[in-house]
Amino acid sequence: MGKLTEDIINQEFWNQIKSKYQLGKLIYGKVEFHKPFGVFVNLGDAEVKGLIQISDFLDTGSMTPEMYPDIGSPVGAVVIGYTEDDRQQVWLSVKPSVLQKSLVKLKIPVANQV
C-alpha cells in the first residue's frame, strides 16, 4: 500500500471517529487505567480510547493522580479533541464549565451577560 493510500484510509477512519464522537458531545465510558498525566476511558469502542488529561478535570485548583476516579467507575465527559496518530485517542474533559456548556445551551453566552 502506498503512502497516499494509507493517508486516505487514515483520513476516512478519523472522519468516522469525528462523526461518532463529535466535538462538544457528552459521551459515557468507564475508567480503564490511570497514568500520571491522566485517565484512560474505555468508550466501548475497539478503535479508540478516551483520555482525560489531568488538566481537564477541574476549572480551578490542583488535580492530583490520587484524586482520579476509581478504575471501572463510570464517567461522563465532553469530547474536546483527538490524537490523530497511532495512539488513536479521543480527548475528553470533565471540567464543570465544559460539562455545563454541553448540557445547557444558553441563548446568550455567559461572557456577554450583564
In three-state secondary structure terms, 69 is coil
List, for residues 30-74, the tens digit of each pLDDT value.
999 999 999 999 999 999 999 999 999 999 999 999 999 999 999
C-alpha cell at 34: 490511570
Positive or negative CA dihedral for 68, 73, 75, 79?
positive
Please state the domain count of the chain. 1
Residues in the chain: 114
Domain range for 88: 3-104
CATH of the domain at 11: 2.40.50.140
In a domain, 65, yes or no: yes
List, for residues 75-102, the tens digit of each pLDDT value.
999 999 999 888 999 999 999 999 988 8
In a domain, 64, yes or no: yes
What is the H or E stretch that residue 92 is in?
A: strand 89-93
Tell me the average pLDDT across 21-34. Answer: 96
